[in-house]
Amino acid sequence: MLLDNLALFLRIVEKGGMAAAGRELGLSPATVSERLAALEAYYGTRLLTRTTRAISVTEEGRLLVDGARRLLAEAGELESRVRLGAETISGPIRLSAPEDLGRWRIVPLVDDFLAAHKDVTIDLNLTDGYVDLVGQGIDLAVRHGTLADSSLRSKPMGENRRLVCAAPAYLHAHGAPQHPDELAMHDCIVMRFGQNIDREWPFRVDGQPYAVSVGGRRIANDGGLVRQWCKQGFGIARKSERDVEEDLASGALVEILRDYSAGGTGLQIVYPQGNIQPRRVRLLIDHLASAFG
């Protein structure tokens, strides 16, 4: 029963409320309250501070979140090995990835993984915004750029060059910029990452870092939509080479300002720190890293 109550506690934290957690698990509000009270009585401390509108995790609760995830992972791993044997992989994996890269490159790899491991389930979150892995109970995420969160670990997936591109129709109608400064005269399609809008595009001029401010009529938080708009000739976009390599090969998009490219950014798998990861998660991490590497 302790493990069940720990799982309920984690779901409350992930969902941000007792009612939402109860609905997902099929439990009445009274049952959720009783089981949370039992967990707090077991540990002899308050784990959540509750108001009529929200909950917040106490210091003791935050400590339990990390420990509970490790304990439940170990318990799940042990049950799989005892019930099904050491070679059987089973259980859920929660994965986050950028929308465009995830849809066209990650999903096929996930499909292959699921075909090979029939007892594994995947909960996939495709988003170009920030994801709190620990707070939302995500097992692993694919991310661009360098690792900024010291509470996470990472596994490299290779370089991922960023480039500026446009459709032939747009370039025919408006001409191709010959210098980054000329982007100010063009309609640029801009990405939004959470609350941040990617209006500063980095380049290298005479071997030195050089940033220009861009603008346009279209802003989106969906990399796939930015790519679609760009292919339709609505403007110039800054994309990852992995996202548009097929479009470049087919001629649907054309790279511009290549001589001023700012180079690549790392692509990596990130996951919460901890001594224990379920074998299914470790295998998926290796599967993704191997395919991209």
Reported as a pLDDT band with limits 50, 70 and 90, residue 184 is very high
Q: Does 286 lie in the same domain as 223?
A: yes
Residues 164 and 205 in one domain: yes
**Domain match, 134 and 72 both:** no
Which of 70, 88, 106 is a domain's end point? Answer: 88
My answer on whether 119 and 63 are in the same domain is no
Mark whether 161 and 264 lie in a shared domain: yes
Q: Is the pLDDT of residue 135 over 80?
A: no
More confident residue, 116 or 4: 116
Label residue 199 by pLDDT band (50, 70, 90): very high
Q: Does one domain contain both 81 and 95?
A: no
Which of residues 88, 120, 142 is at a domain's end? 88
Pick the more confident residue, 164 or 272: 164
Same domain, 30 and 117: no
Do 49 and 107 lie in one domain? The reply is no
Q: What is the pLDDT of residue 33?
A: 85
Domain count, the chain: 2
| Strand residue runs (E) in 5-144 | 48-50, 55-57, 90-97, 119-126, 140-144
The parent domain of residue 20 ranges over 1-88
Bridge-based pairing of strands 119-126 and 152-166 is: unpaired
Give the per-residue pLDDT at 260: 92
**Does 214 share its domain with 164?**
yes
| Model confidence band, residue 274 (pLDDT cutoffs 50, 70, 90) | low
Do 82 and 180 belong to one domain? no
Work out whether strand 188-193 and strand 218-220 pair parallel, antiparallel, or are unpaired: parallel
**Residues 56, 158 within the same domain:** no
User: Can you tell me the mean pLDDT for 180-198?
Assistant: 91
Which whole-number Å values give the CA distances from 98 to 113, 182, 222, 223, in the listed order?
19, 29, 9, 8
26 and 107: one domain? no
User: What is the rounded end-to-end Cα distance, in angstroms, of the chain?
Assistant: 43
CATH label of the domain that carries residue 262: 3.40.190.290
Indicate if the pLDDT at residue 134 is higher than 90. no
Q: What is the mean pLDDT of the chain?
A: 86
Amino acid at 158: G
Paired tokens of 140: 């692993």
Q: How far is CA 64 from CA 51, 69, 111, in A?
A: 21, 8, 34
Cα–Cα distance measured from residue 103 to residue 58, given in angstroms and rounded to the nearest whole number? 37
Please state which of the ranges 68-82, 136-150, 204-218, 277-291 shows the lowest mean pLDDT: 68-82
Among 88, 109, 128, residue at a domain's last position: 88
β-sheet bridge partners, residue 165: 237, 255
Given this model, what pLDDT does residue 55 score? 81
Question: pLDDT above 90 covers what percent of the chain?
Answer: 38
Q: Is the pLDDT of residue 161 over 60?
A: yes
Tokens 């490790």, located at residue? 70
CA 152, CA 132: separation in Å to the nearest integer? 10
Residue 61 belongs to domain with CATH number: 1.10.10.10
Q: Where is average pLDDT lowest: 4-8, 103-107, 162-166, 280-284?
A: 4-8
